[in-house]
A = this chain, B = another copy of it.
Amino acid sequence: MNKWMEIAYDEAISGMSANEGGPFGAVIIKNGEIISSAHNEVLLCKDPTAHAEINAIRIASKKLNSFDLSGCTLYTTCMPCPMCLGAIMWARIGHVYFGATKEDAARGGFDDARFYEMLKGDAKSLDLQQIDHKENAKLFDIWNQQTHTMY
Contact residues, A91-134 vs B (CB, 8 A): 91-92, 94-101, 104-105, 107-109, 112, 114-116, 118-120, 125-133
Docked Cα-Cα span, A67 to B104, in Å, equals: 23
**Are A132 and B5 in contact (CB-based, < 8 A)?**
yes
Give the interface size bracket for A toward B. Answer: 35 or more
A136 part of interface (Cβ distance < 8 Å): yes
**Are B48 and A100 in contact (CB-based, < 8 A)?**
no
Could you tell me which A residues sit within 8 Å of B by CB distance? 1-2, 5, 9, 12-13, 16, 22-24, 42-43, 45-50, 54, 57-58, 61-62, 65-69, 77-79, 81-92, 94-101, 104-105, 107-109, 112, 114-116, 118-120, 125-133, 135-137, 139-140, 142-144, 146, 148, 150-151
